[in-house]
Amino acid sequence: MEKTFNPSEIEQSLYQSWEEQGYFSPTGEGDGYSIAIPPPNVTGSLHMGHAFQQTIMDTLIRYQRMQGKNTLWQTGMDHAGIATQMVVERKIAAEEDKTRHDYGREAFIDKVWEWKDESGGTIGKQMRRLGNSIDWSRERFTMDDGMSEAVQEVFVRLFEDDLIYRGKRLVNWDPKFHTAISDLEVENKDKKGHMWYLRYPLADGVKTAEGKDYLVVATTRPETVLGDTGVAVNPKDDRYKNLIGKHILLPLVNRLIPIVGDDHADMTKGSGCVKITPAHDFNDNEVGKRHDLPLINILDKNAAILASAEVYKNNGEPSTAYSTELPSEFAGLDRFVARKAIVAKFDELGLLVEVKDHDLVAPYGDRSGVIIEPLLTDQWYVRTAPLVGPAVAAVETGQIEFVPKQYENMYNAWMRDLQDWCISRQLWWGHRIPAWYDENGGVYVGRTEAEVRAKYTLSADIVLKQDDDVLDTWFSSALWTFSTLGWPSNVEDLKKFHSTDVLVTGFDIIFFWVARMIMMTMHFIKDENGQPQVPFKKVYVTGLIRDENGDKMSKSKGNVVDPLDMIDGIALDELLEKRTGNMMQPKLAAKITKLTKKEYPAGIEAHGTDALRFTLTSVASTGRDITWDMKRLDGYRNFCNKLWNASRYVLMNTEEQDCGKIVNGQQGEMEFSLADRWILGQFQQTVKTVHESFEAFRFDLASQALYEFTWNQFCDWYLELTKPVLFKGSEAQQRGTRHTLVTVLESLLRLMHPIMPFITETIWQRVVPLSNFVADDKGNESASIMVQRFPQFDESQCDQTAIDDLEWVKQFIVAIRNIRGEMDISPSKELPVLLKNVNANDQRRLDENQQFLSALAKLDSITVLADNDDAPLSATAVVGDLSVLIPMAGLIDKEAELARLTKAIDKLEIDAQRTRGKLSNEKFVGKAPEAVINKEKAKLADAESALAKLAEQMVQISAL
RNA sequence: GGGCGAUUAGCUCAGUUGGGAGAGCACCGCCCUUACAAGGCGGGGGUCACUGGUUCAAGCCCAGUAUCGCCCA
């Protein structure tokens, strides 16, 4: 073996061989265990968040596979409507100076597929490098044929069940992409703006209570006055309540609009009068509905002012309530240009009262970055009310559990206020809506045009045109768990693997995806008793991985990290190129360059996949975001190296030696040391902790237990304790220790494998032939570690006496090392040691472990003093009742020893003081449980006995 | 404004029925000891954000305050 672990040499070929052997596919034996990957967006590449979640998923899958389950990790990608279309549009603009309209719909979609084929591979490559044990043969894409069939089927059935309808409603309109987007794709941001106070003349000579012939309305969007169809005042507002039912003559358009009483008008804010524009504001839209105000649309798809308005009734039908005429001077002006023009006009007319600075919240499209415009359009909706009930109940009854629990509140809160879901998008890339229109606007829904004609008995001469719009990407994603398993055409796998066992995802996606998956799945998938099936039983919600400053990682900030750069390393200049090349906003490049140089002055070193995965599981405590810490990754790379070298030591001492392997039913005689018996027990405790931690999704605790055992027990103590045996022990003792070495290492590798697949496989292949582990039922020892059984807790291997004895041995050794360290005695200097107050148990332990003590504490002699023997002047430590003395002559300076003793005494005294205080408190002694009191008493006795011994030494030494 | 979360060593974080404050990294000292210097041995370091309450006992439970973050309106 190489002296240093080199991950790059092993990882890729191992993965390839696993994949070729078909180890990632379900075995067909055992209970089903499945996880559906949250499909990454096809436009992207994986970032640290993906690596984090996928490491957790793979750890679970590998663990369950080794537990004998029939595991399926289902993967795939999401077609990401807007994002993908945007990328390809930008590409053809840059490369060919063309728009999608130059291509036409079909040719453009071909172009997108072409792009998908070349770009979609990036993610697959990354996933493989992460070691993910995914069944690639079942990889799915939300736009592939099977998924499309499922989408169509769901749409048609929902329509038939009256759960889908079409309507003219106010939507979040993205004026850049010309499509509706959902509430969830809107980011509300704080912004500095203005509040304009406008004078609205009262009609018919009416006056306010104060005798004025106008009202003042306050608005942040003066350009929408052209669409006003009312003014609201609060019905309790004495200033204006007598005006309810009267009218305003709206400036600029001379439109007579009613004054209505509505609680929406807040008496304490602004003037207390609110202009109502039902076609351009969500709140106003609600007010309009309550008072049956018509809707006047004044904006086109670019959010520019129309030449003539569109007037609608509340049910979406055209209305003749108002003229469609608009002032020609504003026609075609963009909304923000129009705003200035309209304010100027009000000013000119003497109707602008004042302008104040105002903090407001503006909605931005999360993809386009432009301000979203509420716009009246025809869209398709899913009626959510009937779907919510079962979806909420599933969480209430525990059929679905969130980990951590607090996310259930978030889910419930969102479900409670759920609006109907707008599912149509005015894009080309996506599932086209299976609805056809005749020339009179009649709508027919069906799987195909032929089906529609048959179903509605439409004669061949009726011209039908399919809806141009496509479905929201999340509509197809909502079907993910069951459509990937073959629904609707094939339900065999559904029986085996659905419901999936756990969904691992970020909290930011609970609404987008998790809630919608639950609703859709429960509506369409029923178990054998006709009960709705949930898509997954557990939802493990991960926090975000933030950069080292605690900032969210994002492309625009340039702080995104490619997990492969952590694995393979990357030079600074390459990293800079990656972060600043091909940027949408080149002006940010300088800032990103600066930040990157500060964060990674020398680029990133290679760490390997196992170290990355171990880091990710180590930080996976539940319910909080993670601040990425490069030092942790460095530390766990060192850990890999430690494991590597420990294994190297084991192999150097066991390969081509008799390790007690059973051959032809014969096994050499073995004698086990205390250390052998101890390490087996320690290992079992680790096995137990790892199981418990995995079951509780506490990957951090599992990692910690593995780290602690491997480094602090196995390497620091056990390997050192094997040296005296291997160098000096009898044949049977050597065989016993070699046997224990290979047994523990072999099992430890299996225990670690779910988290660190590569290094464990590599070492295991070398170790397993030395052990008595039977690799599979067929006796095939060359099979992979990944298909072996996971270690199970075996209490019979926990020998409490061995554990106690070895703890004593450790304390003895540490006591001497402490004196050495504090007194600057060279570690190579062999020391004589004298012992006082040796009780029977100490004597037994001494007799049994002399070899260990001498070797690890570097002693040249151990002498037990009789009670009446005078000890020479010595440095002293206390182990239980035992005093350990190291003669000072020629080694130790008097002052130094006095200082050391003082320090030790002070420390003990503080503890003793506190314990004495407790025990002298009557209330404590009266009320605390006996066990606690006894523990305190024992603690005090120990401290006092140690104190007495040290104090005695103080006296002796200072007397000199 | 409503809800949720966080606040523990210099940094990043554990601390699960309330009962001796922990880890990794960083720091200090010694050591290239034949598995590992990506290492070994030893050591220092915390008013557990603050205030009050419950309790014999509070990092942990309760109430409130502050600061930071997230979600919703």
Q: Are residues A358 and A320 in contact, defined by beta-carbon separation less than 8 angstroms?
A: no
Q: Round and report the angstrom distance from CA (A642) to C1' (B24).
A: 15
- How high does pLDDT run on average in chain A? 88
Report if CB A942 to strand B is under 7 Å.
yes
- List, in sequence order, the alpha helices (H) in A866-893: none
**d(C-alpha A314, C-alpha A316), whole Å:** 5
Report if CB A933 to strand B is under 7 Å.
no
One-letter amino acid for residue A757 of the chain:
P
| Confidence at A776, pLDDT banded by 50, 70, 90 | low
Report if CB A286 to strand B is under 7 Å.
no
Q: Round and report the angstrom distance from CA (A638) to C1' (B38).
A: 5
The string of pLDDT tens digits covering residues A219-259 is 888 888 888 888 888 888 888 888 888 888 888 888 888 88
| Confidence at A852, pLDDT banded by 50, 70, 90 | very high
Report if CB A720 to strand B is under 7 Å.
yes
Instruction: Provide the pLDDT for residue A862.
Output: 92
Determine what percent of chain A is predicted with pLDDT higher than 90. 40
Cβ neighbours for A440, distance < 8 A, ≥ 6 positions apart: none
Report if CB A763 to strand B is under 7 Å.
no
Report if CB A715 to strand B is under 7 Å.
yes
pTM summary value: 0.90
The string of pLDDT tens digits covering residues A871-929 is 888 888 888 888 999 988 777 788 888 888 888 888 888 888 888 888 888 888 888 88
Domain A187-366 architecture = Alpha-Beta Complex (3.90)
**Token pair in block for residue A914:** 């506190």
The string of pLDDT tens digits covering residues A122-138 is 889 999 999 999 999 99
Strand partners, A870: none
**d(C-alpha A338, C-alpha A330), whole Å:** 6
Report if CB A624 to strand B is under 7 Å.
yes
Highest mean pLDDT among A252-261, A577-586, A755-764: A755-764
Cβ neighbours for A904, distance < 8 A, ≥ 6 positions apart: A950
The string of pLDDT tens digits covering residues A104-161 is 999 999 989 988 888 878 889 999 999 999 999 999 999 998 899 999 999 999 999 9
Cβ neighbours for A224, distance < 8 A, ≥ 6 positions apart: A275, A277, A280, A281, A298
Q: Round and report the angstrom distance from CA (A540) to C1' (B13).
A: 20
Q: Round and report the angstrom distance from CA (A515) to C1' (B54).
A: 41
Q: Round and report the angstrom distance from CA (A732) to C1' (B33).
A: 27
Q: What 3-state class would DSSP assign to A202?
A: strand
pLDDT of residue A777 exceeding 70: no
Q: Round and report the angstrom distance from CA (A428) to C1' (B21).
A: 61
Burial of A507 (0-12, 13-18, 19+ CB in 10 A): buried
Instruction: Provide the pLDDT for residue A16.
Output: 93
Distances (CA, A) of A641 to A525, A619, A645: 49, 20, 6
Report if CB A718 to strand B is under 7 Å.
no
Compute the average pLDDT of residues A173-192: 82
Q: Which residues of A participate in the annotated binding site?
A: 555
Report if CB A911 to strand B is under 7 Å.
yes
The string of pLDDT tens digits covering residues A324-371 is 888 888 888 888 988 988 888 888 888 888 888 877 788 888 778 888
Q: Which nucleotide is nearest to A183 (CA to C1')?
A: B72
| Confidence at A568, pLDDT banded by 50, 70, 90 | very high
Q: What 3-state class would DSSP assign to A659?
A: coil
Compute the average pLDDT of residues A263-280: 83
Count of CB atoms situated within 10 Å of the CB of A9: 12
Q: What 3-state class would DSSP assign to A627?
A: strand
Report if CB A537 to strand B is under 7 Å.
no
CA triple A669-A805-A855, angle to 5 deg: 70
**d(C-alpha A708, C-alpha A158), whole Å:** 54
pLDDT of residue A168 exceeding 90: no
End-to-end CA distance of chain A: 56
Instruction: Provide the pLDDT for residue A466.
Output: 92
Q: Which chain A residues in 393-422 sit with Cβ < 7 A of strand B?
A: 406, 409-410, 413-414, 417
Instruction: Provide the pLDDT for residue A745.
Output: 96
**d(C-alpha A726, C-alpha A743), whole Å:** 16
Q: Which residues of A participate in the annotated binding site for ATP?
A: 555
Report if CB A692 to strand B is under 7 Å.
no
Q: Round and report the angstrom distance from CA (A184) to C1' (B72).
A: 12
Strand partners, A532: A526
Report if CB A882 to strand B is under 7 Å.
no
Q: Round and report the angstrom distance from CA (A706) to C1' (B18).
A: 29
What are the start and end residues of each CATH 3.30.2320 domain in chain A? 803-892
Cβ neighbours for A59, distance < 8 A, ≥ 6 positions apart: A613, A617, A694, A699, A754, A755
pLDDT of residue A960 exceeding 80: no
Strand partners, A201: A214
**d(C-alpha A786, C-alpha A719), whole Å:** 26
Domain A803-892 architecture = 2-Layer Sandwich (3.30)
Residue pointed to by tokens 């003990």? A908
Report if CB A640 to strand B is under 7 Å.
yes
Instruction: Provide the pLDDT for residue A439.
Output: 87
**d(C-alpha A124, C-alpha A117), whole Å:** 12
Q: Round and report the angstrom distance from CA (A578) to C1' (B4).
A: 36
Cβ neighbours for A712, distance < 8 A, ≥ 6 positions apart: none
Report if CB A515 to strand B is under 7 Å.
no
Report if CB A601 to strand B is under 7 Å.
no
Q: Are strands A32-36 and A70-74 parallel, antiparallel or unpaired?
A: parallel
Report if CB A877 to strand B is under 7 Å.
no
Q: Which chain A residues in 845-874 sit with Cβ < 7 A of strand B?
A: none
**d(C-alpha A569, C-alpha A609), whole Å:** 11
Report if CB A658 to strand B is under 7 Å.
no
**d(C-alpha A707, C-alpha A891), whole Å:** 37
**d(C-alpha A4, C-alpha A1), whole Å:** 8
Q: Which nucleotide is nearest to A417 (CA to C1')?
A: B72
Q: What DSSP character marks residue A795?
A: G
Q: Which residue has the higher pLDDT, A43 or A15?
A: A15
Instruction: Provide the pLDDT for residue A805.
Output: 93
Q: Which nucleotide is nearest to A650 (CA to C1')?
A: B35
The string of pLDDT tens digits covering residues A454-464 is 888 888 888 88
Q: Round and report the angstrom distance from CA (A692) to C1' (B42).
A: 35
Instruction: Provide the pLDDT for residue A261.
Output: 85
Strand partners, A601: A603
Report if CB A627 to strand B is under 7 Å.
yes
| Confidence at A1, pLDDT banded by 50, 70, 90 | confident
Report if CB A612 to strand B is under 7 Å.
no
Q: Round and report the angstrom distance from CA (A690) to C1' (B24).
A: 19
Q: Which nucleotide is nearest to A719 (CA to C1')?
A: B35
Strand partners, A147: none
Report if CB A649 to strand B is under 7 Å.
yes
Q: Which chain A residues in 820-839 sit with Cβ < 7 A of strand B?
A: 820-822, 824, 826-828
| Confidence at A585, pLDDT banded by 50, 70, 90 | low
The string of pLDDT tens digits covering residues A793-804 is 999 999 999 999
Compute the average pLDDT of residues A482-509: 89
Instruction: Provide the pLDDT for residue A775.
Output: 66
Q: What is the assigned CATH class of domain A895-959? A: mainly alpha
| Confidence at A584, pLDDT banded by 50, 70, 90 | low
Q: Are residues A130 and A45 in contact, defined by beta-carbon separation less than 8 angstroms?
A: no
Q: Are strands A470-471 and A500-506 parallel, antiparallel or unpaired?
A: unpaired
Cis amide bond preceding A258, omega within 30: no
Q: Round and report the angstrom distance from CA (A404) to C1' (B55).
A: 30
Report if CB A635 to strand B is under 7 Å.
yes
Instruction: Provide the pLDDT for residue A674.
Output: 94
Compute the average pLDDT of residues A944-951: 88
pLDDT of residue A751 exceeding 90: yes
Q: Round and report the angstrom distance from CA (A815) to C1' (B43).
A: 13
Q: Which chain A residues in 552-581 sit with Cβ < 7 A of strand B?
A: 552
Q: What 3-state class would DSSP assign to A89?
A: helix
Report if CB A841 to strand B is under 7 Å.
no
Compute the average pLDDT of residues A827-856: 91
**d(C-alpha A587, C-alpha A603), whole Å:** 22
Distances (CA, A) of A625 to A13, A501, A645, A876: 34, 24, 34, 48
- Report chain B positions within 7 A of protein CB atoms: 3-6, 11-16, 19-20, 23-26, 29-31, 33, 35-44, 55-57, 69-73
pLDDT of residue A779 exceeding 60: no
Report if CB A711 to strand B is under 7 Å.
yes
Q: Which nucleotide is nearest to A915 (CA to C1')?
A: B20
Q: Round and report the angstrom distance from CA (A903) to C1' (B46).
A: 19
Instruction: Note the Cα A62 to chain centre separation in Å.
Output: 19
Cβ neighbours for A930, distance < 8 A, ≥ 6 positions apart: none
Compute the average pLDDT of residues A409-426: 86
Burial of A387 (0-12, 13-18, 19+ CB in 10 A): buried
**d(C-alpha A625, C-alpha A318), whole Å:** 51
ipTM: 0.95
Q: Which nucleotide is nearest to A924 (CA to C1')?
A: B56
Phi and psi at residue A397, in whole multiples of 5°?
Answer: -85, -5
Compute the average pLDDT of residues A784-792: 93
Q: Round and report the angstrom distance from CA (A946) to C1' (B29).
A: 26
Q: Which residue is nearest to nucleotide B36 (CA to C1')?
A: A645
Q: What 3-state class would DSSP assign to A362?
A: strand
Instruction: Note the Cα A22 to chain centre separation in Å.
Output: 28
Report if CB A899 to strand B is under 7 Å.
no
Q: Round and report the angstrom distance from CA (A182) to C1' (B7).
A: 36
Q: What 3-state class would DSSP assign to A68?
A: coil
Instruction: Provide the pLDDT for residue A778.
Output: 56
Q: Round and report the angstrom distance from CA (A875) to C1' (B44).
A: 21
Angle, helix A121-129 to helix A105-119, in steps of 10 degrees = 20
The string of pLDDT tens digits covering residues A638-685 is 999 999 999 999 999 999 888 888 888 888 899 999 999 999 999 999
Q: Round and report the angstrom distance from CA (A907) to C1' (B30).
A: 23
